[in-house]
Amino acid sequence: MRENASAQLNRLGNEHFSRGHYTEAYECYAKALEHDRKTGDQRALVATLGNVANICAVSGRREAAQQYYEEVLELQKLLGDERGIGTTLANLGNLRADGAQYERARAYYLEALDILNRTHDEAALSVLFSDLGFVARETGQYDEAMRYYEQSLALMKRLGNEGGMADAWRMMARTHLMQQRYEDAVACCRTSQAIAERMRDELRTGGARYVMAGCCEQLGRLQEAADLLELVVGMDRKYNLPKLQENIGRLEALRARLAEGARA
């Protein structure tokens, strides 16, 4: 079946989005949105509005994203799309979590949890448990965070989602690190890194190394921390990641401490 104009524009927008070309993606989605509003195709409109909301969210336009997600939610309720409603509630939670509005995020997530449990959407639940873990961790509820991460990990394993497994182990490592349980954090980092390396996923490998560097620094293993951060900075440069300058500063500070120790 031939794609209609909206489907073509959304597909092209998704291709731009996957490459990080957000301006081009937004232009495609905006044209699709104009088309869908004219035709009145509600199901197409739900998909397009969701894409516009996602691009606004990753571009830091949280209030615009909130408006689009709320419009999506109203349409999904009209269409009786319960699974879609659960996903959109989780997306609204993500917006609030990104803005450090953790109690609002938790409320959205728990509403989504009720729905996703009813629809038995294990893929969405595996991510939602991780989101709930993040909110619990950031509000100091570390035991609850670990329980959520363990639930996420169990589902990721069942679904064969290795990337999700690597992420869950890394998030558990960060939780241990915040509790100063450094050896536990190192063990989780090693598991996360091993999975990421097996997948040949450079970004996830770098994420595990980043947390491991923090552990090594706290344990006084400064040379190991510097070696790991050097690899992280190399990856930051390769992919033009936002923490490049921050990580360069951390690496330089570590090297200065090592040089000072060598002189002492």
CATH classification for the domain delimited by 161-264, as one of 3.40.605.10, 1.25.40.10, 4.10.80.400, 3.30.9.10: 1.25.40.10
pLDDT band at 264 (very low <50, low <70, confident <90, very high): low
Per-residue pLDDT, 232: 96
Q: What pLDDT is stored for residue 3 in this prediction? A: 61
Which range has the worst mean pLDDT, 36-45, 88-97, 100-109, 188-197? 36-45
Parse the chain into domains and list their residue ranges: 1-80, 81-160, 161-264
Q: Which fold has domain 1-80?
A: 1.25.40
From 258, 235, 260, select the one nearest 248 (Cα to Cα): 235
pLDDT digits 0-9 by tens, 147-191: 999 999 999 999 999 999 999 999 999 999 999 999 999 999 999
- For 229, phi then psi, to 5°, come to -65, -30
Q: Are 90 and 68 in contact (CB under 8 A)?
A: no
Nearest to 102 by CA among 126, 136, 60, 142: 136
Closest to 213 (Cα-Cα) out of 197, 238, 233: 233
**pTM, rounded to two decimals:** 0.88
pLDDT one-digit tens code per residue, 183-240: 999 999 999 999 999 999 999 999 999 999 999 999 999 999 999 999 999 999 988 8
- Asked if the domains at 1-80 and 81-160 fall in one CATH topology, the answer is yes
Q: What angle do CA 205, 210, 212 make, to 5 degrees?
A: 95
Nearest-CA neighbor of 228 among 259, 193, 201?
193
Q: Taking residues 29-49, report their average pLDDT.
A: 93
- In whole angstroms, give the CA distance from residue 209 to residue 232: 7
| Measured torsion, CA atoms of residues 57, 66, 128, 137, in degrees rounded to the nearest 10 | 80
Does domain 81-160 match CATH 3.90.650.10? Answer: no
